[in-house]
Amino acid sequence: MKSFALSQYRAPLECIETSTPVPEGNEVLLRVRACGVCHTDLHIWEGGYDLGGGKMMKMSDRGQKLPHTMGHEVVGEVVAIGHEALHLVEAGRTYLVYPWFGCGECQVCKSSDEHLCPTPRYLGVLRPGGYADHVLVPHPRYLVDIPALSPEQAAPYACSGLTAYSALKKLGPRGLRKPILIVGAGGLGLMCLSLLKAMGRSGAIIADIDPDKRRAALSAGAIAALDPTTDAFAKLLAERSEGGIHAIIDFVGSPASWDLSMATLAKGGTYVIVGLYGGERALSLATMPLRAITVSGSFVGSRRDLIELMGLVRTGVDPMPIVTRPLESAHETLSDLKEGRIVGRAVLVPGRPS
Ligand SMILES: [Zn+2]
Ligand SMILES: [Zn+2]
């Protein structure tokens, strides 16, 4: 099999040929039909995350071994099945892979929150992923049925879609009764707008410094799209928010987006941080009880969330803009993503001519 692997952090991906794995036990081998290229892949390529204060969470300290094949948004067709999984999965069928594998043994995993397992084995992060023509999945429970969508449309739901859906769920039905504030109108922000619409909830006000992204947000159905750096921001937000902002989803996760959110959130409100831009901020402890606010982190989502999300997609979610590229252009695609040259979600398609 052929994979495009990271042999050295920050270096071009290399094409490597290895023997195609033969599934054992519960394992299932898929032929990759589509694999999304995510911002997380850029963090992996760079070797880790900025934790603030000059500290970095290194992928090597998390157990990542090089060469490593990235790619966690995978749709694939079942081509071989381990003997214990024969009755659980159908050969020739195409599935979306839930990529946030845990150990499968601990209480967290058993409660279907494998994405929060203390010893994760995430696909494309800690195990070989979908920048390849084949991928090995440890158990059929990770294979999720997809509605009538093309593989390239379905693939980004495993991370981008799931992350937006799970963040919305953290606001609860009460948090979604009134317009929410979404900070950052990149791919995740726009996905969140589409999901809110499909869920039949009152919409969202977008804050973004980029005028093109604000325009995209308005076309995707935002109630308003505001520039947080202007003097009029607070006044305009107050006018559109129907009595204050009680729920915020921050897809940036930077010191600036934290400042904006903390200055905006109403008493009793919930602030969900999803973005991994990084950095640090001091927190005035007394403000937490005095304002009775909840600050929550949200990381991808559970397998149950992904199955629910596919149910929502079945009822009709606006398709996200997709750019397809051949697998061979994996590195170029990653560079384009880094330089902000991709509009929509980039998806690698093995076997697609360049
Ligand atoms: Zn576990
Ligand atoms: Zn991702």
pLDDT tens-digit profile of 233-270?
999 999 888 889 999 999 999 999 999 999 999 999 99
Q: Residue 215: which domain range?
A: 161-297
Q: Is 74 a member of any domain?
A: yes
> Which ranges of 171-298 does DSSP label H, i.e. alpha helix?
172-175, 187-198, 211-219, 233-240, 255-264, 287-291
Pairing of strands 294-297, 265-273: parallel
pLDDT band at 48 (very low <50, low <70, confident <90, very high): confident
Q: Is 103 in a helix, a strand, or coil?
A: coil
Mean of per-residue pLDDT scores for the chain: 93
Do 115 and 198 reside in the same domain of the chain?
no
Q: Tell me, what's the pLDDT at 354?
A: 56
Residue 141 CA to ligand 1 center (angstroms) comes to: 14
Q: Tell me, what's the pLDDT at 321?
A: 83
Do 6 and 155 reside in the same domain of the chain?
yes
Say how many domains are in the chain: 2
Residue 40 CA to ligand 2 center (angstroms) comes to: 5
Gap between the Cα atoms of 317 and 253, Å rounded: 26
Q: Is 105 a member of any domain?
A: yes
Residue 72 CA to ligand 2 center (angstroms) comes to: 6
Q: Looking at the CA of 36, which ligand is closest?
A: 2
Ion ligand 2: residues, CB < 5 A: 38, 40, 159
Q: Is 354 a member of any domain?
A: no
Residue 334 CA to ligand 1 center (angstroms) comes to: 30
Q: Looking at the CA of 37, which ligand is closest?
A: 2
Radius of gyration over alpha carbons of the chain, in Å?
20
Lowest mean pLDDT among 67-71, 120-124, 146-150, 252-256: 146-150
Residue 301 CA to ligand 1 center (angstroms) comes to: 15
Gap between the Cα atoms of 298 and 166, Å rounded: 7
pLDDT digits (tens, 9 = 90+) for 190-244: 999 999 999 887 789 999 999 999 999 999 899 999 999 999 999 999 988 888 9
Contact 181, 205 (CB under 8 A): yes
pLDDT band at 147 (very low <50, low <70, confident <90, very high): confident
Query: What percent of the chain stands above pLDDT 90?
Result: 79
Mean pLDDT of 271-287: 92
Q: Looking at the CA of 117, which ligand is closest?
A: 1
Do 145 and 228 reside in the same domain of the chain?
no
Residue 342 CA to ligand 1 center (angstroms) comes to: 35
| Amino acid letter, 242 | E
Q: Looking at the CA of 125, which ligand is closest?
A: 2
pLDDT digits (tens, 9 = 90+) for 13-23: 999 999 999 99
